[in-house]
A = this chain, B = another copy of it.
Amino acid sequence: MMLIESLLNVDKSSQVPVYLQISNGIISYIRQGTLKPGSALPASRALSASLNVHRKTVVAAYDELYAQSWVDVIPRKGIYVAKNLPDVAPRPIEKAVLKHSLANKTSFKVDDNRINPQRMFVPMPNGNLTFTEGFPDTRIAPVDLMVREYRRMANYHFTHKYLMYGPEQGSENLRNELARFLGETRGLHVTPKDILITKGVQMALYLCAQVLINKNDIVIVGDPGYSGANEVFEQAGAQLAFVPVDEHGIDINAVEAICSVRKVRMLYVVPHHHQPTTVTLSSERRMHLLELAAKYQFAIIEDDYDFDFHYTSGPILPLASADYYGNVIYVGSFCKTIAPGIRIGFMVAPANFLLQATRLRRLIDRQGEHLLEEAMASLLKNGDIGRHLKKANKLYHERRDILCKLLEEQLGEYLTFKIPSGGFAIWVKYLNDLDTALVSAKANELGLTIGAGLDYYYDKFVKHSFVRIGFASLNEKEMQEAVSIWKKAIMKCLHLA
């Protein structure tokens, strides 16, 4: 018999538990053929003595080997390397296996322009300060509360239920809590069956587009507007029709003008803090829009993604709260409340539309993350979300005021802006013919990432002087430093001009 004791190394300072070091060591010697099937392993007492570990540790290692089928236990005789090893070796389908099996390119035809070319994820440059275009501060994200809910669930038997397949429409508990939350905060009196849980607003928009749009259908959007939504509608075959945006939101008279000459299928609106200009759609325009939708029978996609973030004036209740005719599809998300990387959004819509959207959701990915949805339900139920929103609103309110003050004091002669009533960003207009792309490039050289404003307008070559500046994700010190770099970048640009 091999002296397996002499082959095994135990490192008590390692993060790997000692019993796993022993079992993994033995497995590797079985795999290499050093330990042959059928050969005896030392008694636990002997092995523990020679390795200088507790006997229970060796017993745990042997239990692990047995659980994984590497050893057979013969009562009153001992422990032997299993005769039938659990490594069920794969069989190649031909003699020579290629080192790189995957061809780089398909030999069947792929349409390289089938899916809209679009802006893809670019990691933020390391070390740079960043003015996002309006994201929350992930440093205050209540991940600890979420993890607490996961731990709680892991301890309970009922959790197994959530590990099986679940409803396509999303967790029942979450839809219950959401119905209550939407009623309390938004005057939306809905039932759980009116709600579909989605992966963020993005999936809600995708479902709307795929269920409703046929090739060349007219979809009205604001310009400047949200390019992420425009892409989804165009991918579904829509022809976009643009309306201007002023300080009261999208121009509803322009909407009416389009409706009077063309059949409109859908209108997309961000009622609070329009992306990118941060304006809120006025009550008058909301009522007018609802009337138009009823008259011309088009769908309104109401993307109210940051309703929950208001600082100086109250939000206006959603269009959906006065939707007598069933024309509004209301979408929102918790990606700004928890964190952008935690993907929970929702859609509230009339039953016939919601059924189609739910069926499509099943085809796409069957269902959401049930455990995550349950955790979210608990956080809504026990008030954690409400408390977190209060704290976050207070913090972002302060940060908005700090940044506005800094901009006025430090950059007042180079730019102008209006204080937004809520949300995450300020819509800034450069003065002195400053070039947004040039300022962005110079700032980047100096260590500050700041937008160049290239996707605010549908026509990427339209000349404008705006940039959207997020205030929520930087603290006071960071904002001071960022504004000071920004000022240097502006000075450089003016000097160049």
Contacts and interface: CB of A to CB of B under 8 A. Distances in A.
Contact of A151 (B70, B93, B105, B151): B151
A412 interface: no
Contacts of A363: 115-116, 118, 202, 206, 231-232, 235
Interface stretch (A389-397, A424-432, A459-467): A389-397
A342 interface: yes
Interface in A330-354: 339-343, 348-353
Report, as a range, how many residues of chain A touch the other chain.
35 or more
A187 B102 CA distance: 11
Contacts of A121: 165-168, 362, 367
Contacts of A442: none
Contacts of A97: 187, 317, 321-322
A160 interface: yes
A7 interface: no
A387 interface: yes
B283 A352 contact: no
A160 to B, nearest CB: 4
A143 B147 contact: no
A327 to B, nearest CB: 6
A94 B235 CA distance: 36
A370 B138 CA distance: 13
Given A163-B141, A212-B110, A105 B359 contact: no
Nearest to A307: B90
Question: Which residue, A98, A102, A186, A326, has most C-beta atoms of chain B within 10 A?
Answer: A102
A227 to B, nearest CB: 12
A316 interface: yes
A299 B108 contact: yes
B115 A360 contact: yes
A146 to B, nearest CB: 8
Given A103-B325, A299-B108, A350-B106, A88 B164 contact: no
A372 to B, nearest CB: 7
A199 interface: yes
A243 interface: no
Contacts of A298: 108
11 contacts: A69-B397, A92-B321, A93-B321, A105-B351, A105-B352, A106-B353, A110-B211, A121-B167, A163-B340, A164-B340, A206-B364
Interface of A: 16, 20, 24, 64, 67-70, 86, 88-94, 97-112, 114-118, 120-121, 123-124, 135, 138-139, 141, 143-144, 146-147, 150-151, 153-154, 159-160, 162-168, 185-190, 194, 198-200, 202-203, 206, 211-212, 231-232, 235, 265, 283, 286-287, 293-294, 297-299, 310-317, 319-327, 339-343, 348-353, 355-356, 358-360, 362-372, 382-383, 387, 390-391, 393-394, 397, 422
